[in-house]
Amino acid sequence: MKKPLRYGLIGCGGFGRFCLGEYQRMPELTCVAVTDNDEALARKTADEHHLAFCPSVEAMLKRGDIDLVHLATPPFTHMNLALAALEAGKHVLCEKPLALNVMDAERMVRKAQERNRLLTVNLIMRHNPLCQAVKAIVNSQVLGAPLYATLVNAAQDENLPPAHWFWDPAKSGGIFIEHGVHFFDLFEWWFGAGTLLSAQEIRRPGTGIVDQVHCAVQYGAMTLGTFYHGFHQMRSRDEQSWRIIFELGTLTMSEWVPTCMELDVTLSNEGMETIRKILPDSEVRVTDLYFGNDQHPSSRHRNRSVDLRAVVSAGAGLEKKALYGRMVRDLMRDQISAIGNPGRQRMITEANGVSSLAWAEAAHQMAGQRPLSPVP
């Protein structure tokens, strides 16, 4: 068995600590040390997890017993920390977004190539089994073409006081860049190349804070995608919904880390078999059976051949936090198995980090070109 990779955490905030807890469960990793600008927080994290405390990033990067660092600091710090870590010969798992803009992200990628180190980005969504099922459904074409896909994210902002770095685009990049990259990456993975059609932003009245963004993208010849992100809800009202309308059915999911999926489909018996193979643990409820002429309806000026309508429910038993943790571990496992084995295909690469950022940067700029809404 390969020796475990030795890991150091830079940034002991909410997400860095969550990932650390997950990584400590992985036999492929030995967690060694932590650091943070906030010394008290770094010491507390080190004590709680029985790890070494490093007084600074420089001190951590000098350690010979660390192979890979996880950058879990705010976005504006990613580029310089990644360049320093790569220069010091460490592999880097960088939090999303890879950087604040594509130019900086490409600089990071070049440095990783120069130093022959792994650089990757923690875009975990592709490791969600339901997101993988969407990919399989799209690829199989069992539901025909995807025509419309939308994500509506009405997120809580209880943990985001006005002075939080999240609201400052110079630190976070803004909502499309800080948060939207997850979903730009996923839609591109599902639907292929696209074109940004429009983007909008809304400022919270009486403040400079942009708390709502929206954009529309066309994928290929016929898929329209839209993304809405608003950070304005009470914790108890935090909600996300996904909807994909195909020619032969509609797929819905809820939660930003989706934990359940429902399909309402009208299919032939063979089509239904394909769905059952893609979602083997799903529950299928047949709601209609078709006979005679009813088996040959048409849509989009094409004849269809159908035997039944059914509602398919998948994801039973997935609990959000446990699933989130599993996705975090699966991404890390996939990445480290590529170290020393460069031919191995990874689920997510730094190129996806750059590409998702290109979408987000374009949407950010397009939205910002609109005149600002008058402040009442």
Ligand X SMILES: NC(=O)c1ccc[n+]([C@@H]2O[C@H](COP(=O)([O-])OP(=O)(O)OC[C@H]3O[C@@H](n4cnc5c(N)ncnc54)[C@H](O)[C@@H]3O)[C@@H](O)[C@H]2O)c1
In angstroms, rounded to a whole number, what is the distance separating the alpha carbons of residues 222 and 170? Answer: 36
For position 16 contacting ligand X by CB under 6 A, the verdict is yes
Torsion 316-249-254-187 (CA) sign: positive
Least gap, CB of 366 to ligand X (angstroms):
22
Q: Residue 82 interacts with ligand X (CB under 6 A)? A: no
User: Taking a C-beta distance cutoff of 8 angstroms, is the pair 230, 214 a contact?
Assistant: no
262 forms bridges with which residues in the sheet?
A: 252, 313
Does position 352 interact with ligand X (CB under 6 A)? The reply is no
Could you say whether residue 98 binds ligand X (CB under 6 A)? no
Among 9, 29, 73, 143, interactor with ligand X by CB under 6 A:
73
3-state class (DSSP) for residue 268? coil
Q: What is the DSSP letter of 354?
A: H
Torsion of Cα atoms, 31 then 36 then 42 then 46, to 10°: 10
Q: Can residue 128 be called a binding residue for ligand X (CB under 6 A)?
A: no
Cα–Cα distance between 67 and 117 in angstroms, integer? 10
**Which residue, among 73, 57, 60, has the nearest Cα to 12 in the 3D structure?**
73
Token pair in block for residue 117 = 């180190």
180 binds ligand X (CB under 6 A): no
Examine residue 325 and tell whether it contacts ligand X (CB under 6 A).
no
The verdict on 260 binding ligand X (CB under 6 A) reads no
Stretch that binds ligand X, among 4-12, 193-201, 237-245, 296-304 (CB under 6 A): 4-12
Residues 213-252 touching ligand X, rule: CB under 6 A, are none
274 binds ligand X (CB under 6 A): no
Among positions 31, 34, 57, 133, the unique one binding ligand X when judged by CB under 6 A:
57
Binding footprint of ligand X, residue count (CB under 6 A): 22
Instruction: Provide the minimum distance between the beta carbon of 86 and ligand X in the complex, in angstroms, as a whole number.
Output: 16
Task: Report the greatest alpha carbon distance in the chain.
Answer: 76
Listed residue (117, 170, 146, 345) closest to 263, CA to CA: 146
178 binds ligand X (CB under 6 A): yes
Does residue 75 touch ligand X according to CB under 6 A? yes
Site for ligand X (CB under 6 A): which residue of 29, 46, 124, 210?
A: 124
- Per CB under 6 A, residues contacting ligand X are 10-16, 36-38, 41, 57, 72-75, 77, 95-96, 122, 124, 178
